[in-house]
Structure 1
């Protein structure tokens, strides 16, 4: 009889010990994974254009639309929208910084991207923008725009009275 009671106590002890170990291991893993996992939010800017002006004349436009990832923890502390800050920084990068239109067509977006991220993050107490993703990044010359706007007008001759 004593032998059966001791076996029962042994089984209960092993079961409780394994249950305690499983709960302890699961809570330690959950704490580590919640600390190491970065939660990111995604957003995108509206499409906008930056004029390229040389010698007082508009030579073309850079048309930009970007996606961005934000640190959710920092975003929760920020009450203003982030897209206008990104638009402003892109505008600052391109407006008035080119002396030759050919330079615009050779832009290395990786360097622009990093300087935009650094410029935006400098305006907040903690780094907010994690990454920029290009949705649209085009250069359109003023001549192309004029040609597009006057398309069809050269074919139509005024009617004679």
Structure 2
């Protein structure tokens, strides 16, 4: 019985010692590592939304996209409206206006689109707000794929 109690105390001591060492090690590395630039940036994601691809007055599919963005924290503090609204609006204008007849998504030069979206959203504010725009999701779905998904692949009479 005493042997079991001593083994239990020994296990508790080892666990507490390793926990203390892990916390001490993390606090030492966190104090040494510089946090350059992290305090000045904030991030977020847009909602998943779709833009129709219309060719000859017929919807052929949808570009489905979700983007992540980084913002300047100091400028964001002065903005009362969520920034994702402006980004969504600009993405819709870009794809519906310039790429609304492009079925082959590989032909879209996303670097040009990204730069254009950043520039046009930043024009709406007194100071540049968006620092970077990253792709979270970017797909093209045809109307037949949507139809098959909704009907579970069943043939319609």
Tell me the TM-score normalized by structure 2.
0.70
Match in the other structure for 2:129: 128
Partner of residue 109, structure 1 = 110
Give the whole-Å Cα distance in 1 for the aligned partners of 2:77 and 2:69: 16
Return closer, same or farther for 1:39/1:108 CA change in 2, 3 Å cut-off.
same
Aligned to 1:19: none
Q: 2:17 is matched with which residue?
A: none
Equivalence for 2:69: 68
CA–CA distance in 1 between the matches of 2:51 and 2:132?
21
Q: Residues of 1 paired with 2:97 and 2:69: CA distance? A: 25
Shift of 1:98: 3.6
Give the alignment's Cα RMSD to 1 decimal: 2.3
SS in 2 for 1:101: coil
Shift of 1:150: 2.4
Residues 93-146 of structure 1, C-alpha deviations (whole Å, 9 max, x = no match):
011434743454421111110000001001000000000111001111112112
Aligned counterparts, 1:1-161, within 5 A: 37=37, 39-98=40-99, 100-154=101-155
State the Cα distance separating 1:79 from its structure 2 match. 1.1
Structure 2 CA distance, aligned partners of 1:121 and 1:62?
24
Q: Which of these two proteins has the greater Rg computed from alpha carbons?
A: 1
CA distance in 1, matches of 2:136, 2:100: 26
Structure 2 CA distance for aligned equivalents of residues 153 and 78 of structure 1? 49
Q: Structure 1-normalised TM-score? A: 0.68
Structure 1 runs, 4 residues or longer, greater than 4 Å off? none
